[in-house]
Structure 1
Amino acid sequence: MVITKNYIAKGEGADRFEKIPVQIYETADEAVKAVAREIADLVRTKAASSEKCVLGLATGVSPIKLYQELVRMHREEGLSFRNVVTFNLDEYLPMPKESEQSYHYFMHHHLFDHIDIDPKNIHIPDGTLQTEEEIEKFCEDYEKAIDAEGGIDLQVLGIGRTGHIGFNEPGSFITSTTRKVYLNDLTIKDAIKDFGSRNLVPTKAITMGVGTIMKARRVVLLAWGEKKAPIIKATVEGRVSDTVPATFLQMHSDVQFVIDESAAGELTRADYPWLVSKVDWDKKLIRKAVLRLCQKLKKPILKVEDKDYQENGLSDLIELFGSANKVNIEVFNDMQHTISGWPGGKPNADDSTRPERANPYPKRVLIFSPHPDDDVISMGGTEARLVEQGHEVHVAYQTSGNIAVFDDYLYQMMDVADMFSRNLGMENESFKSLKDKIHNRKPEENESPELLPYKAALRSAEALSACRFMGIPKERVHFLNMPFYETGSVKKKPLGDGDIDIIVKLLREIRPHQIYAAGDLADPHGTHAVCLEAIMQAFDVVSGDEWFRDCYTWLYRGAWLEWEMEKVDMAVPVSPSELTIKREAIYRHGSQNNGPAYPGDDPREFWQRAEDRNRNTADLYNKIGMAEYEAMEVFVRYKHEK
């Protein structure tokens, strides 16, 4: 899913800073088709010569789409895996094979159960081993089994944010073989989304070694999304070091990185394309270049001089505009025009340089929120201003968020209800069995289906409270409860027609002039990406509707990242009093305060993340010479193309 396209330099010399061959595709869907074709060709070539094809396979998010494409090729194109032998990279330790978090389950669920591979040809590290002797013997035998098959023909890899390949964490040697390892703290934090709680994530694993991987005849590494961009840059452009084990791949004779544009975002050819090749300067690229220059020099836009451009590889802009002053004025005005205190459009005003239209006024506004608190966390100040300025604001909560409620918090709310009943002279025994379930539940057990409706109701009540505080009436609050989410566990179902239909129905019911949606694909739980994909697919359905042709869509980001300034189309100043309103609205979501269920690797409360982010954005605008504001919420306009 491409929300904002990056300008990526192409042609001779564009990859001059890269020490590993990198193939960049617009989307992961396009990328996996190319890799699947390579694997299919290898399998068929080997089969034609009556040879086995030995594949090294990875788990995690990155290869899922690849396995889906291989399954499709098996079903629709007759690709056979009868001659394929597989060796998986790793497995958690300890880990029962039947557990949904096990890589044994993962591989069968996503690939092996859907193709004609001989079960005897499947090799996955055994996470059920207990003694050191058993583990050491298994690891030795695993290496011997790979050698007995003639070595790995093609090894598929993902990459972790620590730079691990397999579970070879920082400090792994290039000569390391299959062994037991201890997981890095960041790797454990990244796994919380799969296990639901940090204390449930295993701290050990069995993994192929770096040396084992390096012996593969060909290596293909997959990476998708902006969260992978920093480690891709470090791996591809950095020096070889055991602090980033993936950099050892620079020494492999036949390696290819296959990544999408988001994962390529910090490579020099994407981040500073003017340093590696001639570029076609458009408005956003000019803005990016000048803002980067301002940040480097710590100068506001209007103080950048000719020599600054010339000494930083930007002489093209002087040639294009004639002088630094003319470049500066162009970008200064461009950035100033993104700032608007009227997110719904200012009525009876010249809107030629404003991000939103003056008319119609008031507008019907629909804010999509993946979880029941993302709206106030991400755009609470703008939401309050839209209400204050008289627009008809609707909020649609796409999922119930029920699994993000601690049992203890629900227990506390039941105690409140019990005490309230007793104060009214009524006895309430209805919660007793539910409290018993909470009291007797073991940490590793799944959510009780009986508790989930209460947790969903709790989050809905919190969302209603926040909306009421913001001035949004109950009839304009919509709880969509999209089916993909309602599994009762951290693992979700694939997006389905039922999810899309719910959104299409709401869109056609409200017929909004403005839509706000979460464009934050860095959400560690993946829910934001699925919710946005559902909206995009709904847009495909309604794209022919007359109301949709005059509807603007604005994307905000969640609690983890903010839009880069060069991408911003609308920046809404948030005053100190509006920041207080936003904080108070976030407080209404009590179940998510004082330690949200899935905090990722950021220990701050949601209101702290939001305020720090909004103040930082205002500070960035101030440093480039804009007016000084308390805080800012920023948005990117999305233009739908079916």
Structure 2
Amino acid sequence: MISDFTQQANPRPEILSFEKVPTAIYASADAASRAVAEEIARIIRQKQSEGKPAVLGLATGSSPKKVYAELIRMHRQEGLSFRNVITFNLDEYHSLGADALQSYHRFMREQLFDHIDIDPAQCHIPDGTLPFQEIHQFCQQYEQHISDLGGLDFQLLGIGRNGHIGFNEPGSHVNSRTRLITLDQTTRADAATEFGGLANVPRKAITLGVRVILQAKRVVLLAWGEHKAAIVKQAVEGPVTETIPASYLQGHPNVQFILDEACAASLTRQKTPWLVDAVDWTPQMTKKAVTHLALTLGKPVLKLTNQDYNEHGLSDLLALHGQAYDINITVFSSLQQTITGWPGGKPNADDTNRPERANPARKRVLIFSPHPDDDIISMGGTFQRLVDQGHEVHVAYQTSGNIAVADDEAYRFIEFVADFNREFGIESEEVADILLYSHHFLKNKKPSEKDSDFVRRVKGLIRRGEAKATCRFVGIPPEQVHFLTMPFYETGLVQKKPLGEADYRIVAELIDNVQPHQIYAAGDLADPHGTHKVCLDAVFEAVRRLKDEPFMQQCWVWLYKGAWDEWDIDLIEMAVPMSPDQVMRKRFGIFKHQSQKDGVVFQGSDSREFWQRAEDRNRTTAGLYNQLGLAEYEAMEAFVRWHF
């Protein structure tokens, strides 16, 4: 864990041999955001003391939100004034008005400007409503305005999954100017969530050019989460290339990448730290190194040789343990002990080397599912096995998932209710009015317009019905199915509220009522919507509040991944194998969620359906175990234990 912002500005020479950009890694995005906000505040105050304006380049998207929240807190609680601040935003979608839900004008007002004492006239954002013939002149004036002020004192950046900075997409030249650009397909797919579908995402945007970004006196790039890890590694450790515009920052004299641990996971110093510096060869680090070596060489663990260790930077392990054979046996046994067909513990068995306890033989299990389908998608085989093996399984659906239901799906259900009432002579003037209004609303709804409260409730009922169908399929009685409808989610928009006391209390009260021996929660930090992370934070906080209760001394918390990624194999502490029949049964359980099939609202850039993603991931996990020399299974679901 790294928490000192300034110490990491000048990494050790060994790290610089891999990292071509100064990079700081923080335990969380919260801690990193606070550090960045403090740096911005120092610049503002320094300029105030000199009687000069602070010229800031600002970014939008999810990455800087917590930086802006911290700046607002500093304004309100510490008296930080923005009266001397002049801002220039990186970009704006072309064709969007300033009040559109997805416009960056609106984003900046809601996330920062409306909450501080900045002069609105000093807030500059590209105008997305300009006709094409006026854009070139506007862009020239935008750059000239920055230049007249002496350039940007500080430029805040995010990074796209394709390596873009601003909307400088792959192919942008290092000397590119502020301009209108056609958006890359990956960028549009990532924005589909906010726009209610890919078809509604604008195809063009106005962006500050790479040249102007590189002229800023200080540049800080923020990146959070596993889904950005691969592109960050390329930008930080790879060659400078126009296919990854963020790599141009390697040439900036005062730049820093600020990452959370999840986003930094692919960097050499995190992925293979023994290549960078001496490490403490704990059993976990040894397992990480040996499995990495085996997978890199395509060898089973038990076939690794002394030469393999010596040629791949692991001679220290041989010095500590003697022979490759001894190390291989230890790691192989550790991997083997994670595999179990008894996720609730095997009764009347020696559990010394098993991932779960044998007692109590019948456990109370509480599965937290962020959306109404994450339980079956992410751990459907384990879910079914826990029920089949006689445990008392409860499922808690944390959010309604209503925004992920397509309008035509809601329209179909509303139409069914109307036809049902007519067919059976059920007459109600109030129901008729509601149905008529909903028909009218959905027929005339504008792209990405917020749903009415009634339509949101209809969509929530659709997801709830599908979740109930899955629970019936698995064998969960109705009284063990809990719909929490956590308040943070119920905005009707992709943008959610922060977690509040009501959210924590709902989760804590359920845990207290069930008093489980096992809790399963989604530890999927790669979720591009962020809902999984928020729901996990709620579970963590609830567990912390209850940790001193007597029943919690017997409660173990297991974390599963969602549809996007899997735990690294060296981290897996419980792997539950599935037969071909069990894989098929899980697929049928996923099929109960009909609203999430055949063109999901938030599909993202991955065109596979959720059942396909789940099966591919589960088969890949089983394949890795087999590649390392263990038994060959059709598929596996993997879990990591959280020690609270």
Q: TM-score normalized by structure 1?
A: 0.96
Higher mean C-alpha displacement, 607-616 vs 510-519: 607-616
Q: Distance in 1 between matches of 2:609 and 2:31?
A: 38
Describe the SS at the equivalent of 1:478: strand
Question: Shift of the alpha carbon at 1:422?
Answer: 6.0
Match of residue 102 from structure 1: 103
Quickly say closer, same or farther: Cα 1:439–1:19, change in 2 above 3 A.
same
Code of the residue aligned with 1:295 in structure 2: it is L
Q: Corresponding residue for 1:552?
A: 556
For 2:370, the equivalent position in structure 1 comes to 370
Moved more, 22-31 or 364-373: 22-31
- When residues 67 and 418 of structure 1 are mapped into structure 2, their CA distance, relative to the original with a 3 A threshold, is closer
2:598 matched residue in structure 1? 594
State whether residues 370 and 531 of structure 1, in contact with CA within 8 Å, keep that contact through their aligned partners in structure 2. Answer: yes
Match of 1:217 in 2: 217
Does residue 273 in structure 1 map to residue 277 in structure 2? no
CA contact (8 A) 1:15 1:276 kept: no
Q: In the TM superposition, what is the alpha-carbon distance from 1:116 to its structure 2 partner?
A: 1.5
Q: Write out aligned runs for 1:211-360 (5 A).
A: 211-360=211-360
Question: Where does residue 141 of structure 1 map in the other structure?
Answer: 141
1:624 is matched with which residue? 628
Farther off after superposition, 167-176 or 404-413: 404-413
Kept in 2: contact 1:59–1:107 (CA 8 A)? yes
Q: Which has the higher mean CA deviation after the structures are superposed, 89-98 or 25-34?
A: 25-34
1:583 aligns to 2:587 (yes or no): yes
Q: 1:172 to 1:581 in 2, by over 3 A?
A: same
Asked if 1:514 is matched to 2:515, the reply is no
Equivalent residue, structure 2, for 1:493:
497
Contact persistence 1:11–1:277 (CA under 8 A): no
Aligned to 1:47: 48
The amino acid across from 2:200 in the alignment is L
Task: Measure the CA separation in 2 of the matches of 1:168 and 1:584.
Answer: 43
How far does residue 100 in structure 1 lie from its aligned partner after superposition? 2.4
1:50 and 1:135 mapped to 2: Cα distance?
34
- Residue 361 in structure 1 maps to residue 361 in structure 2: yes
1:610 aligns with 2:610: no
Partner of 2:64: 63
Deviation at 1:176, TM superposition (A): 1.2
Quick one: distance in 1 between partners of 2:571 and 2:216? 41
- Contact kept, 8 Å, 1:182 with 1:203, in 2: the verdict is yes
- Please give the alpha-carbon distance, in whole angstroms, between the structure 2 residues aligned to 1:33 and 1:227: 22
Match of 1:566 in 2: 570
Residue aligning to 1:5: none
Q: How big is the shift at 1:425?
A: 6.6
Contact between 2:194 and 2:448, CA under 8 Å: does it hold in 1? no
| C-alpha contact 1:569 1:635 (8 A) present in aligned 2 | yes
Structure 1, unmatched stretches of 5+, are 3-7
| Residue identity matched to 1:150 | G
C-alpha contact (below 8 Å) 2:195/2:447 kept by paired residues? no
Residue in 2 aligned with 1:87? 88
Q: Distance in 2 between matches of 1:380 and 1:412?
A: 28
Q: What code does the residue aligned with 2:500 have?
A: G
Corresponding residue number in structure 1 for 2:487? 483
Deviations 1:311-339 (A, max 9, x none): 11111111121101001000000000000
Whichever residue aligns with residue 180 of structure 1, its letter is: L
User: CA separation in 1, counterparts of 2:143 and 2:517?
Assistant: 61
For 1:502, the equivalent position in structure 2 comes to 506
AA matched with 2:621: T
Q: Residues 150-198 of structure 1, C-alpha deviation per residue, up to 9 Å, x if partnerless? A: 1111111111111111111111111111111111100111111222211
Give the match for residue 532 of structure 2: 528
- What TM-score do you get using the length of structure 2 for normalisation? 0.95
Q: Unmatched 5+ residue regions in structure 2?
A: 3-7
Kindly provide the amino acid, as one letter, of the partner of residue 339 in structure 2. I
Q: Cα distance, 1:432 vs. partner? A: 4.6
Classify the secondary structure of the residue corresponding to 1:253.
coil
Distance in 2, Cα, partners of 1:400 & 1:297: 45
Letter of the 1:452 partner, please give it. R
Shift of 1:226: 1.3
8 Å CA contact retained: 1:233, 1:267: yes
**1:403 & 1:230 partners in 2: Cα distance?**
29
Among 453, 477, 495, the alignment partner of 1:449 is 453
Deviation at 1:292, TM superposition (A): 1.2
In 1, distance between residues paired with 2:380 and 2:500? Answer: 30
Give the whole-Å Cα distance in 1 for the aligned partners of 2:59 and 2:417: 49
Residue 567 of structure 1 aligns to a residue in which SS? Answer: coil
1:166 has 2:162 as partner: no
CA distance in 2: counterparts of 1:291 and 1:528, whole angstroms: 28
Structure 2 residue matching 1:155: 3-state secondary structure = strand
Bigger mean CA deviation after superposition, 607-616 or 445-454: 445-454
The residue type paired with residue 457 of structure 1 is: L
Q: Which is worse superposed, 564-573 or 540-549?
A: 540-549
What's the counterpart of residue 120 of structure 2?
Answer: 119
Cα distance in 1 for partners of 2:455, 2:260 equals 40
Describe the SS at the equivalent of 2:615: helix
Shift of 1:406: 1.5
SS at match of 2:265: coil
> Deviations for 1:335-392, whole angstroms, at most 9, x for unmatched residues?
0000011000111111111111111120000000011110000001000000010000
Q: Secondary structure at the match of 1:264?
A: helix
With over 3 angstroms needed to count, the CA separation of the structure-2 counterparts of 1:40 and 1:475, relative to structure 1, is: same
Tell me if structure 1 keeps the 8 A contact 2:196–2:448.
no
Deviation, 1:607, is: 1.0
Which residue in the other structure is 1:37 paired with? 38
Partner amino acid, structure 2, of 1:207: T
Q: Is the 8 A contact 1:362 1:391 kept in 2?
A: yes
Deviation at 1:310, TM superposition (A): 0.8
Give the AA of the match of 2:355: P
1:417 is displaced (CA, Å) by 4.7
Q: Give me the whole-angstrom Cα distance separating, in 2, the residues matched to 1:508 and 1:333.
A: 37
| Residues 436-445 or 511-520, more deviating | 436-445
2:5 corresponds to: none
Aligned pair 1:539/2:538, yes or no? no
Alpha-carbon contact 2:405-2:459 (below 8 Å) kept: yes
1:538 is displaced (CA, Å) by 1.1
The DSSP-based 3-state class of the residue aligned with 2:454 is: coil
CA distance in 2, matches of 1:99, 1:140: 25
After TM superposition, the structure 1 stretch with the greater mean CA deviation from structure 2, 510-519 or 32-41, is 32-41
Helix, strand or coil at the partner of 1:91 = strand
Shift in Å, 1:421? 5.6
Spell out, residue by residue over 1:508-566, the C-alpha distance to the aligned partner (whole angstroms, 9 max, x if none): 11010000001111112111111111111112211221111221000111111111111
Aligned mates of 2:274, 2:307 — CA distance in 1:
17
Q: 2:298 is matched by which residue type in structure 1?
A: K
Deviations 1:281-321 (A, max 9, x none): 11221111111111111111111111111111111111121
Whether contact under 8 Å (1:193, 1:524) holds in the other structure is no
- Name the counterpart of 1:199: 199
Distance in 1 (CA, whole Å) between partners of 2:220 and 2:514 is 47
